[in-house]
Structure 1
Amino acid sequence: MKKLLIPFYIIFAATLLASCQKELERVNINPNEPTEVQPDYLLSNGIKANVDTYWGTDATMETSLLYVQYWAKIQYPDPDRYIPATTNIQNVWNNFYAQGIEDFTTLAQLGDSLHNPNYKAVGIIMRSWIFQVLTDLYGDIPYTQAANIQRYLTPVYDSQATVYRGLLSELKGAVQIISPAGNAIQGDSLLANNMNSWKKFANGLRTRIALRIADRDPAAAKAVFTELAAEGNILLGAGDREAKLNYLTSPNQNPVGRNRETRNDYRISKTVVDKLKALKDPRLSIYAALPTEPGSTDYVGVTNGLSADSASRLGFSKTSDVGAAFTASQSPAWVFTYAEQLFILAEAAQRGLISGNAADLYAQAIRASFKQYGITGKPVDDYLAQPAVAYDPTNYKKSIGEQKWLALFSEGLEAFAEWRRLDYPKLTPAYTGALQGKMPLRLTYPSSEQALNGANYKAAVARQGADLLTTKVWFDMY
C-alpha cells in the first residue's frame, strides 16, 4: 500500500492558519468582559426570569388563575373558556426549560468548580422547584436527561412518580451540602443570601412533594417527614423570611403590573368573591378592588367563561379588578409562604404522617395567611369562630382545601395543583367552557415536542393518557 504524502506547503499553511486563529482569539479578548459566567449574576437573573414565568401571563394570567377561578376574563375570553393559546403553552415549557433548568444546572456546576457548595445547593433547589412546577402542570416530563441537552437532544419523558421521587432525593442532598457559616453567596433576591432560609425553603418543597404523592404512596410520604424529623425539622417558622421576590420599578416590575400598563381585560372571579363574602372574609378588600363606577360600594366578580358579548356587556367600570396588592408594579411574588407550610403540616398531622394537632395547625395556617396581608387580632378570631370555617376532621380535604385555596390566592400554579389533589373547593366549570362540562386538569404538551421529540412524546402519551386538558396526571387520583 502506498503512503499518502501530504505536501509540505499544506502542512505549513494549516499550521500558520491555526496559529493566526489563536492569535486573533487572543487579540480579540475584551479585558473588561468576564469570560466565565458569574454565579451571582446567574442566580439573580435566574430568579427574576423564572419567578416572572411563574407569575406571568402564560403560566398564570391566561391559564391557572382562570382554571382555579381566582381571576376571570372580561375581554378576549377564550382562555377563560378553556381554549388556551398555543403560544401560552409553548412559552411556559420553553421558559422553564431554557431559562430555568439550563441556568440553574449551570449554577450548580459553577458551585463545584468554584468550590462553593452553597451555590451548588441553591442551583439544585431552584431547579427542583421548576421541575416540580413543570410536572404538576404537564404530568410526565423530561427530567433525568433534561439537564444535559448537549448529550440528550431528545430527552426521554420520566413518569411523574419518578420525577417527584428524584426531586425528593435531590432536595435532601442539597440541604446536606449547605454550609451557613461559610461560602457566602451573592445575587439572591429570593432569600437574601441566607443559607438557613434556603434549607427551610428546600425542606418546605420536600413537604409539598410528600403530600403530592401521599394518596399514591403514603409510606413514601411518611418517610419524607420521618427524614425531616431526624434532621431536626428545619422548616419555615413564624417571623422567618418567606420565599418571595420583591419587585422593583420598571424594568424590574411585577409581570402582573407590567401587563396592566397596556391592557385591562382581567377581573376577579365571581367564585372567589362569593366565597369571601359568604365567610365575611376581611381579605376581600385586599384581593379585590371596588369597581371604578362612581358611587360603587360593593365588590363585583365576573363569572368564568362568559361569551365575548356577555362579558363586554358587564362593563369595565362596573366590575372589580384584582386588588392592588397583586397588580401594582412593586407587588411581591410569593413562591413559598409560612401559611402554606402550616397547611401542609396540618394535613400531614391529619393523615398520621407526623404527630401534632391538625385543627390547631389549620387555625395557625389561617392566621398566617391573614397576617401575610397585615390582618391580625379580633378580625381573625371572629373569622375562625364561624361554623363554616371550623376544622372538620371527618372531611379534612374540604376544610383544608377551601382555606388553602383562599390562602394561595394569586399563586395560580400551586393552587391549581392543590385543587386537583384535594378536590376542594367544588368549582363549577366555565359558563361556556369548551370541554363539554369538564375543567382543565393539566396543560397539553407544546407542539414543538411532537415535532422535535416525537418518539419520547408518544411514549409519554401512551403511558399517561391522551394529550388533552382533561387527562389526569399521576398524583390526581380522585
Structure 2
Amino acid sequence: MKTSKILFSFFLTGTFLMGCTDDFEEINTNPNAPEAVSANLLASTVTSEITRRLTQEGYSDGNTITQLMAKNNFPGFGQFDWDDEGVWDFMYGILPEVNDILEISRAEGTRNSTYEGMALTLRALCFANLTDLYINVPYTEALTGKSEGIFTPIYDDQETVYNGVLLDLADADSALANGESIIGSTGDVIYNGDATKWRKLANSLRLRYLLRISKQRDVSSEMQAIVTAGNYISSNADNAVLQYSGTSNTDSWPESTGRIGGFDEKSLCTTGLEYLTRFNDPRLDIWFDRNSDGDWVGIPIGLNQDNARAFDDANSPSRLDVNLFYFSRTSAQAFIIKNSEVQFILAEAAERGFIPGDAETYYNDGIRASMSYWGVADTDIEGYLTQDEVAYDGSLELLMTQKTLALWNVDYQGWFNYRRTGVPELVAGQDNLNQDRYPVRFLYPSSEQNLNEENYNRAVEAIGGDDINTKGWWETGTRY
C-alpha cells in the first residue's frame, strides 16, 4: 500500500512538471535581475580588492620582512613564526572572477579588448605573487573546475608559471593597444577607463618579472623591446594606484581596517632607521613620528613578545605618523606598482647591461619619483641627491637600498628583490624561530594537504620540502 502511494505521488509530480516545461524558463526568469554579472562591475570589484589586499600585505608584513617596520606587540611574523599567511586563499578565491572578466571580454556580444587586457594583467599579477610566495603552485589546471571539473589541480613549476605570466602580459599589451572604450570609472577604479595607462601597467609588470627571472635566462631583448616601445610607467601620473574614498574603514588606509589599538603595535625598525638616517632622508619625518622624548628610535626585528614589550616600555620606539596613516583617509592610496619602482628596475637593468641607457639617470629618477609621491619639495629632492651617501656610485647595495625604501607598503616586492640579489642584507633577529636563517617562502596551506594531498606531496618533493627556507627557481640561477 505504501509503495503504491509513493509511485502515485511521483506520477502526479512528474505530470505536474511536464505540464510546466513549456514556459518554465520564462516563468522562472526575473526580468529585473541580470542573469550574468557585467564585465565593468566585476572589473571594478576585482581590481579594488586585489589592490587593497596587496597594500594591506605590504603594510602588515611586507614592511616587516624588509625591516622597515617591526611590531612591539604580537611580533610573531618578525620571528618567522609563519604558515601560509592567507595570501593563497585570497588569490585563488579571486582568480575565478578575474577569469570571468576574461571570458566575458572574449565572448560574442560582449567582446572588449580593454577588459581583456585588464583581466590578463590582473591574472598575471595574481599568479606572479602566488609563485613568488609559494614556488610551485596550481596554474595550468587552477581555473578548470567549472569548465573541466578539475578540483584537485596539479602544481606547476615556477618556470612554467612565469612563462604563463609573461605571455599573459604580452597578450595584454596587444589587447590594450586597441584601446576600446569601457564604462569609465564604474569599470576601472585605477585608470578611469584609460586603456593606454593599463598598457603601461602591463608592460611595467613585464619589466618587473623579466628582471626577477634574469638570473635564469637572458632577458635583454625582451626588456629592450619594451623600453624602446616606451609603453611603460614613466611618470607618477601613470602610477597604478587606487584612491581610497575614506568614507568607511574598509575604504581607507589598511590600518583603518584593523582592530582598535592595532596602530600602536607597529614601530620604526632599527634597520629602517639606519637607512633613513644614513641618507638624511625626509621620508623618515613623513612616515614616522618622533617619540615622546623627541627622538627617532627603532625597535629590533625578531624580538619575542616579552622582549618586544620590554623594549617598547624602556625605549618608546617611533610610531607611524598618525596623521598620514590613520587620519588622512581621503588622501591615501593603495598600490600595484609605481613609477619609482619602474625607474629602479631600469637602473639595475642598465647597470647589468640588459638595456642601453644611463643607470645613474634612472636611479636619480627613481628617487625623485618616490620623494615627489610622498610630498617632498623639488628643491629638497635635488639637495638630497647631492649628498655623498646618496650620489650614485654604481653599487648594487646603494641601488637596492634606495629601491627598498621606495617600495614602502608595496606588498612583498622588497623581500623578493632581497631574495634575488641578497642586498640590502637582512639578518634574523635575536629571538627568531628559524635558526638564524632568513626565510624565502610561505608554507602551503594545510587545506591542500587534506583536499589535494597527492598533488601537494608531489609539489613538496619537487621543490625540496614545504619549508620556509626552500628557494625557488628564479632565486637559484647562476647568470650573475
**TM-score, structure 1 length as denominator?**
0.89
Q: Does 1:162 align with 2:157?
A: no
Matched, 1:368 2:369: yes
Q: 2:181 & 2:171 partners in 1: Cα distance?
A: 17
C-alpha distance 472-9 of structure 1, shift in aligned 2 (>3 A): closer
Q: What is the identity percentage for the equivalent residue pairs of Structure 1 and Structure 2?
A: 30
- Displacement of 1:169 after TM fit? 1.1
**Following TM superposition, by how much is the alpha carbon of 1:282 offset from its aligned partner in structure 2, in angstroms?**
0.8
**1:110-121 to 2 correspondences below 5 Å:** 110-113=104-107, 114-121=110-117
Q: In structure 2, how many angstroms separate the alpha carbons of the residues matched to 1:179 and 1:279?
A: 41
Pairing partner for 1:65 from 63, 66, 70: 63
Please name the residue that 2:138 is paired with: 142
Change (3 A) 1:18 1:118: farther
Q: Which runs of 5+ in 1 are unaligned?
A: 1-6
Partner amino acid, structure 1, of 2:415 = F
For 2:252 and 2:476, how far apart are their aligned partners in 1? 38
Report if aligned partners of 1:367, 1:376 keep a CA contact under 8 Å in 2: no
Letter paired with 2:289: A
Offset at residue 262 of structure 1 (A): 4.8
Which stretch has the larger CA shift, 177-186 or 27-36? 177-186
1:475 aligns with 2:469: no
Q: Is the 8 A contact 2:113 2:180 kept in 1?
A: no
- Counterpart residue type for residue 441 of structure 1: V
Partner of 2:339: 338
- The match for 1:4 is none
- CA shift, 1:28, in A, is 4.5
Partner of 2:34: 34
Tell me the alpha carbon deviations over residues 306-356 of structure 1, each in whole angstroms, 9 at most, x when there is no partner.
122222123479222223434444421121111111111111111222110
Deviation at 1:193, TM superposition (A): 1.3
Tell me how far 1:447 sits from its aligned partner.
Answer: 0.7
TM-score (norm 2): 0.89
Q: Contact conserved, 1:72 with 1:268, CA < 8 A, in 2?
A: yes
Shift of 1:65: 2.5
Between 1 and 2, higher relative CO (CA 8 Å, sep ≥ 6) is seen in: 2
Give the partner amino acid of 1:69: Q
Matched, 1:355 2:349: no
- Please identify, of 175-184 and 235-244, the stretch whose mean Cα deviation from structure 2 is larger: 175-184
Q: Distance in 1 between matches of 2:22 and 2:41?
A: 29
Once the two structures are superposed, what CA deviation does each residue of 1:90-125 show, in whole Å capped at 9, x if it has no partner?
5211111112x1111100111112011211111111
Structure 1's 18 and 46: CA in aligned 2 closer, same or farther, altered over 3 A? farther
Distance in 2 between the 1:476 and 1:283 partners?
Answer: 31
Tell me the residue number matched to 1:322. Answer: 320
Change (3 A) 1:129 1:93: same
Q: Conserved in 1, the CA contact under 8 Å of 2:190 and 2:242?
A: yes
Q: How does 1:193-342 map to 2 (within 5 A)?
A: 193-217=193-217, 219=218, 221-229=219-227, 232-248=229-245, 249-250=247-248, 251-259=250-258, 261-263=260-262, 264-291=264-291, 293=292, 296-315=293-312, 318-323=316-321, 324-328=323-327, 329-330=329-330, 331-342=332-343
- What is aligned with 2:4? none
1:165-208 CA distances to partner (integer Å, 9 max, x unpaired)? 21111111111122555332442111221100000000001100
**Distance across 1 between alignment mates of 2:339 and 2:212:** 18
Alignment-mate amino acid for residue 427 of structure 1? L
RMSD: 2.4
Q: Return the alpha-carbon distance in structure 2 between the equivalents of residues 255 and 177 of structure 1.
A: 33
SS in 2 for 1:240: helix
1:14 alignment counterpart: 14
One-letter amino acid of the structure 1 residue matched with residue 353 of structure 2: G
